[in-house]
Amino acid sequence: MGEDADLEKIIAELEKEKQIDEMVQLLDKPKSVAELAEHHYTEPQPIKCKWCGSEDIMKYGTRKGIQEYICQKCGRKFTAKDAPFKKQTPAEQIGASLNMFYDGMSFSDIARHLAETYNNPVAESTVYRWVIDYTVKATNTLEQLEAQVSDIWVVDETMVKVGGQKMWFIDLIDEGTRFLLASYLSKLRTSGDIAFVMKLAWEKSGKIPRVIISDGWHAYYDGIERVFGADAKHIRSKGFTKGINTNLIERFHGTLKDRTKVLRGFKTLDTAQLLLDGFLVHYNFFRPHMSLLDKTPAEVAGIKAPYKNWTELVRKLGGIA
């Protein structure tokens, strides 16, 4: 009996030593991502500033239970979650909301989509504030970038309603790049309004076009002449079946009218102009065109935009205190 007990004790000790050896080998063996996850291996990552990447940060209190930080280098505030400062909704959802709005969805439809898809019940007024806030940021940033365009421009106008009154949306597009150079909301579409649009396009492109194509509206003749004189040849469109026409911008106006149907008429002139400018940002910078081989007009016009889409813009510009 004594020999059997001693033998069992020796076997137990050998088994224990074998388990220790296996554990040592396991620790020495390089871990795959799956193995690390399986063994609950975690390594704390330093929190970096969202704006400048610095690790020189400090806690800055909490808001609604969420820790806020301030960067000692750039002085900006942020939270560790993927949401603009002082906002609870992630940047991806806000960016998607802007994209849906400029693609034609109403504020109520967007709010319902967020509630059903992300379980994020936001009010229509919140979506509206996002659109206004980031449209201002987008236009202030992107409208300053100069586009490299062709020598042929097309100008036209379409009617929109603002506060129940008819107004004219005048816009000018480059034929080669499909880039919308300028737009203006006018009450009367006078030659002075046409001249103003021409000046905007000149500033945007830094060049004088060789040819400008328009329809037969008489104000175009004087408006173009006042800005470019004889340097730009003004050609009147000869109809949709002819070689010289405004088909390009008419197709854009079809897209624009889909946008204004959702809005059911703008309420004020300032809001109307802002949202129409935002639509042009969306059209030029964030919406690939099949006719451009799925590139944006901005890409074809040689513009290296700092943002590829609305979500990236929200991440980089949103939440600045």
pLDDT in tens, 97-155: 999 999 989 999 999 999 999 899 999 999 999 999 999 999 999 988 999 999 999 99
Residue pointed to by tokens 């004889």: 230
Amino acid (one-letter) located at 200: L
Query: Tell me, what's the pLDDT at 19?
Result: 60
Query: Tell me, what's the pLDDT at 207?
Result: 95
Cβ-based neighbour number of residue 13 at 10 Å: 10
Which top CATH class is 152-303? alpha beta
Residue 314 tokens, joined: 């929200």
Rg (CA), the chain: 30
CATH architecture of the domain 82-145+305-321 equals Orthogonal Bundle (1.10)
The residue with greater pLDDT, 288 or 260, is 288
Amino acid (one-letter) located at 123: A
Which of 159, 171, 176 is closest to 198 using CA atoms?
Answer: 171
Which of 301, 96, 132, 121 is closest to 206 using CA atoms?
Answer: 301
CA atoms within 13 A on the CB side of 85: 18
pTM: 0.71
Mean pLDDT of 206-235: 94
Q: Label each residue of 23-82 as H, E or C.
A: HHHHHHCCCCHHHHHHCCCCCCCCCCCCCCCCCCEEEEEEECCEEEEEECCCCCEEECCC
Residue 320 is given by DSSP the state -
Mean pLDDT of 209-223: 92
What is the C-alpha to C-alpha distance for residues 6 and 272, in angstroms, rounded to an integer?
Answer: 93
User: For the chain, what is the largest distance between any 2 Cα atoms, rounded to a whole number of angstroms?
Assistant: 119
Query: Tell me, what's the pLDDT at 82?
Result: 57
Across the chain, what does the average pLDDT equal?
A: 82
Domain positions in the chain? 2-38, 82-145+305-321, 152-303
